[in-house]
A and B are shown apart, each in its own frame.
Chain A
């Protein structure tokens, strides 16, 4: 069972370049999330989605864009890479419990991105 798969695992970008971080899950989860994790900081929510075609901003969305055309995929786009976007990026998914929230989130192993 693959769970949440993120690609690539590592990437170095130059300032101003763009790239897409890929995330796919095979658990048929409706909810998906993108986080960034910086040293000594907690996971910060960038964007999230409650289903195909529905996305919304999290705590730190500036400089990023997302789309959700299918249940399985939730790519994160960096349009003009900046050094401040050097971080580890995690994608996660969770089941949408009709009785309310509280479901565990399942994480991928992250993409380590350096902007030089």
Chain B
């Protein structure tokens, strides 16, 4: 069955540094991949979408890459701030006419001043 893995341990970085989160998957060929942010006690909030024919997408301080050969997506936050502290979820998007995403367990990011 398909498997999606994100770093289960928290990522702790200093303010101003670049945070890099990893999403690996196996036994699946997603048509696209989405990244969400989740704060404690809140629902996930959509951040970025990248399709299988795209290598990189950017939005302000956020950048996501998608390597279908390595079966991996990297999510970067440059010039990180304490307000970026949250859990980040990746989700694999299926082919065909449904939006039934497969979510990873998420990686908790803590940015220290």
Contacts and interface: CB of A to CB of B under 8 A. Distances in A.
A40 interface: yes
A105 B46 contact: yes
A5 B106 CA distance: 23
A105 B106 CA distance: 16
Interface residues of B, number: 27
Given A43-B89, A101-B31, A102-B51, A31 B43 contact: no
Nearest to A31: B99
Interface stretch (B11-19, B76-84, B90-98): B90-98
B103 A43 contact: yes
Contact of A102 (B99, B103, B106): B99
Interface in A93-109: 94, 100-109
A35 B43 CA distance: 11
A41 B43 CA distance: 15
A101 B30 CA distance: 12
Nearest to A101: B99
Interface residues of A, number: 26
Given A42-B105, A102-B99, A103-B99, A90 B31 contact: no
A48 interface: yes
B43 A110 contact: yes
Nearest to A6: B43
Given A101-B93, A109-B43, A42 B104 contact: yes
Nearest 9 CB-CB pairs, A to B? Answer: A107-B43, A104-B46, A42-B103, A43-B103, A101-B99, A42-B105, A102-B32, A109-B43, A107-B44
Given A40-B8, A94-B99, A107-B43, 11 more contacts: A35-B103, A42-B105, A42-B106, A43-B101, A48-B100, A101-B32, A101-B93, A102-B99, A107-B44, A110-B41, A110-B42
8 contacts: A40-B8, A42-B89, A42-B103, A48-B100, A92-B43, A103-B99, A105-B44, A105-B99
